[in-house]
Amino acid sequence: MSKRSLIVLAAFGLCLAGASPSFATGISVQVGDATATDFAYQTYTDPDSGISSWYAVDENGDPILPGVASWGDVADGVTITGLSGFIKEDPYVTSVIGLINPTGITQTYTIVVSLPISSFYYNATIASSVGVTVTDTTSGAVTASSVSPAGIYTGTVNGAPVLTLLPHPTSVTCASLGCSTTTSDNSGLPLLAAGPGSATAIGITLKFTLSAFDQVGITSRFEIVPEPTAGVLLGAGLLTLAMSRRRAA
């Protein structure tokens, strides 16, 4: 299968008819220095929560999900077994990807999931994390590693890096036949200063190497928020104090 953009209807007609343009998502996978492949996707928005689930589709419109359909082969340098996630205008974006390196050499992969959003003022990130699971297939050892200078995970705002998790150098590895191991980075869960600025797009970029014939699964999340200002926090504190004194009186 040659490298090319997948020309597929990108969503369910009824979902798109009622969706805001800010829910348009860009999804791409790049192997080494080859041209990245852009994937169309389908989405469903829960009317109660406003959360949209998305999954990439192949050239036949089939979902790229475990047990449903995969994409790619040795000629592509990758077999993608799953590519999905959630999006919401809070705003946050998540991605869940599974892939196999079907070649006899270590490959470098770059996976980009981006979410254009309505203009949103932010000065902090929160609730952001990544987990990487590697599984040996044939050789008795498996390694996924970061690529200099970035980490395996980069949270982006307007295309610029804002948050790095599993920073370089990071390796996720085990050394026995059929082994599997997981490494996580939850240091992005607390409120962390970022920006400030106006965001019109947020995203997650995953970049890593993977040993020959082995598998990796990565779950990631990125969210930005407006951090409460000192004035707001002081006002809230004074209001609480006043209410406490009134109750005491």
Task: Output DSSP code: residue 9.
Answer: -
Round to whole Å and give the CA distance between 76 and 33. 12
- Mean pLDDT over 203-216 rounds to 97
Round to whole Å and give the CA distance between 158 and 181. 33
Q: 137-157, pLDDT tens digit by residue?
A: 999 999 999 999 999 999 999
Round to whole Å and give the CA distance between 49 and 35. 37
- Mean pLDDT over 57-73 rounds to 96
Q: 7-47, pLDDT tens digit by residue?
A: 333 333 323 333 333 333 589 999 999 999 999 988 888 88
Round to whole Å and give the CA distance between 125 and 107. 31
Is 49 a residue whose pLDDT tops 60?
yes
Quick one: pLDDT band at residue 249, thresholds 50, 70, 90?
Answer: low
pTM: 0.82
What is the CB neighbour count within 10 angstroms for residue 126?
18
Q: 83-139, pLDDT tens digit by residue?
A: 999 988 779 999 999 999 999 999 999 999 987 788 999 999 999 999 999 999 999
Helix (H, G, I), strand (E, B) or coil at 104: coil
Quick one: pLDDT band at residue 50, thresholds 50, 70, 90?
Answer: confident
Residue with tokens 């077994």: 81
Is 229 a residue whose pLDDT tops 60?
no
Is 177 a residue whose pLDDT tops 60?
yes
Round to whole Å and give the CA distance between 128 and 156. 12
Is 237 a residue whose pLDDT tops 80?
no
Quick one: pLDDT band at residue 3, thresholds 50, 70, 90?
Answer: very low
